[in-house]
Amino acid sequence: MKRLLVVSRLFPNNSEPLKGIFVKEQLLQLRKHFGIQVISPVPWSIPWGSKRWRLTAAIHSRHVIDGIEVSYPRYFMIPKVGRFLDGFFYCLSLLVLMKKFIGRYACDAVVVHWAYPDAFGVILMNYILKKPIFIQVHGSDINTGTRSYLTRRMIVFALKRANKVFSVAYQLREKMVALGIEEDRICVVPNGVNPGVFSPRDRNAVRAQLGLPLQKKIVLFVGNLVDVKGLPYLIEAAAFLLEARKDLLFLIIGEGRRKEALHHMILQHHLQEDVRLIGSKPHADIPYWMSSCDLFCLPSLSEGCPTVLIEALASGRPVLGTEVGDIPRLLGMSGGGYTVRPGDSKALAGGIAKTLTQVWDPDVLSRSVRELTWDSSARKICTRVSAELQAEARGGSDYSDCVEH
């Protein structure tokens, strides 16, 4: 069996069990085809003693998660002004680890998730390691990471030197082509879902289990509480709707740096009874929260192919999203909801009202994404990695299987 070394900051650890859960879910399927070892660098950030620093200090140097062995080397990070140096520090941490454990990380190829600093650091390291490199991009690493001139140059440098680039969204492929990356080098591999976990459940039974009111229309959000998720617009939309109707309950599940600001905004609008910040929940509990809602709302300002949207549809719940990334494509193909302009509270409120008015068949919604599984995602990656390794053995590269429309 060929061995893959997977490198990404986006992977769960003992302090952040939900971090990069989508990477872990894909790897659990990919290890059916390859031996898997993971390196997940974590940043030492200044100022010393800060919340980020204390979190890093609590992360184990090695850990086994669902049978996958993971190492967590540290790399130095200078917030804000020094971000253009992250890729070099990232590379240095990998080189130190490789020198110490070179036998442990023997591999046939390297798969790296996230364009910067991860992919850039791995490409630099590969001048020594000299292995086939496969980069998987997810959304914000391309959509927002390329806004800075220096970071954009480093991302393009890395992508052009990868054997293959896996994109979770067609929109990301188009953006990378505009950056000068060859189209036939890029393979679109959408995120997936575990259909044995996310499936329709009885709404009232789940609400009784979670202690939620049976008579309310519940609008749910699940994700990181960060700027790119557009949550202030969801709270403003809730304020518009709750002026006219009292049958709505908005639930926001997740943690993040914007939590305090969102809490303050909810208090300003006097919505604390109708808009609730639930906090983080174990991933095993999310299917029940999905089944409890009448509508899943994703007001993002930027996305690739959001896993949480597929999970909502697989749970038999309609989705209201924004016109970013592959959300319009996915909802258009599944017929599972609507999209509105990003950053528009009134449009979001109108979309919520419209989606709640329609009657949706949970089984039809769930079947609409039955092909989007983590198993199918892993098989696509397996096919392309195996073909490339065979082509490498013959002395060339094979891009013929990457052009999809």
Predicted TM-score (pTM) of the model is 0.91
The pLDDT-based confidence of 47 (bands split at 50, 70, 90) is low
Please classify residue 387 by burial: count the beta carbons closer than 10 Å to its beta carbon, then call 0-12 exposed, 13-18 middle and 19+ buried: middle
Taking residues 277-284, what's their average pLDDT? 95
**Domain boundaries for CATH 3.40.50.2000 within the chain:** 3-192+373-394, 203-367
Give pLDDT, residue 106: 84
Please report, as a single letter, which amino acid is at residue 229: K
Q: Name the pairing type of β-strands 68-71 and 62-65.
A: antiparallel
CATH of domain 3-192+373-394: 3.40.50.2000
Q: Cβ distance 186 to 176 under 8 Å?
A: yes
> In this structure, is the dihedral angle defined by the CA atoms of residues 141, 145, 150 and 152, taken in order, positive or negative?
positive
The token pair at 203 is 């709404």
Give pLDDT, residue 281: 95
**What SS3 state is found at 404?**
coil
State what percent of residues in the chain have pLDDT above 70: 95
- Cα-based distances in Å from 129 to 94, 183, 278: 11, 26, 45
What distance in Å separates the CA atoms of residue 370 and residue 25, rounded to the nearest whole number? 16
Give residue for tokens 């959304």: 139
CATH of domain 203-367: 3.40.50.2000
The pLDDT-based confidence of 321 (bands split at 50, 70, 90) is very high
The pLDDT-based confidence of 402 (bands split at 50, 70, 90) is low
Taking residues 254-269, what's their average pLDDT? 96
Taking residues 158-171, what's their average pLDDT? 96
Give pLDDT, residue 246: 92
How many other C-beta atoms are found inside a 10 Å radius of the C-beta of residue 177?
Answer: 14
What distance in Å separates the CA atoms of residue 232 and residue 261, rounded to the nearest whole number? 9
What letter does residue 119 receive in the DSSP assignment? I
373 DSSP β-pair partners: 193
Taking residues 71-91, what's their average pLDDT? 86
Give pLDDT, residue 359: 95
